């Protein structure tokens, strides 16, 4: 028997609503916010959450002064088309691009995420 169930990913950030809106646009999911400094995105079956943290410091990837600790990878059919779409949502392309089958971006709070060619 499992000790626990229903795990959630929770990302620290300065503005939960803004980050939930970004990921809702990226994934075509629904964004929701509560009045306790939390927001979430979901598609009915899956969800992840964002919590407001005062003094938030974005990860310094690939440096380790502020380690990334985790990141999100998403599959895309066309890297060029997906890149333009995430930039329009507010992502930033990271200057360090270590591979050719994926591209590294920063979400509006500075968390790294990768678009990966299917």
User: What's the confidence (pLDDT) of residue 36?
Assistant: 81
Give pLDDT tens digits for 51-110.
999 999 999 999 999 988 888 899 999 999 999 999 999 999 999 999 899 999 999 999
Domains 1-55 and 57-118 share a fold: yes
Q: Quick one: tokens of 88? A: 């329009």
The domain made up of 57-118 is a member of CATH 3.30.43.10? no
| Helix, strand, coil percentages in the chain from 3-state DSSP, rounded to 5 | 20, 30, 50
Task: Using DSSP bridges, classify how beta strands 30-33 and 72-76 pair: parallel, antiparallel or unpaired.
Answer: unpaired
Report whether pLDDT(22) > 90.
yes
Contact 115, 86 (CB under 8 A): yes
Gap between the Cα atoms of 55 and 108, Å rounded:
15
Q: Please report which confidence band the pLDDT of residue 4 belongs to, taking 50, 70 and 90 as the band edges.
A: low
Mean of the pLDDT values across residues 29-37?
90
Domain definitions of the chain by residue range = 1-55, 57-118
The domain over range 1-55 is classified in CATH as 2.40.30.160: no
**Cα distance between residue 88 and residue 100, in whole Å:** 22
Give the model's pLDDT for residue 18: 96
């Amino acid at each position: 028997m499992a000790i626990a169930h229903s795990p959630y990913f929770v990302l620290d950030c300065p503005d939960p609503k803004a980050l939930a809106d970004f990921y809702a646009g990226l994934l075509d999911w629904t964004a929701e916010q509560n009045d306790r400094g939390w927001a979430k995105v979901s598609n009915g079956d899956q969800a992840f959450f964002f919590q407001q943290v005062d003094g938030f410091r974005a990860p310094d990837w690939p440096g380790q002064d502020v380690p990334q600790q985790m990141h999100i990878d998403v599959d895309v059919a066309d890297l060029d088309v997906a890149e333009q779409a995430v930039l329009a949502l507010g992502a930033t392309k990271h200057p360090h691009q270590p591979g050719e089958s994926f591209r590294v971006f920063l979400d509006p709070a500075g968390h790294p995420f990768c678009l990966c060619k299917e």
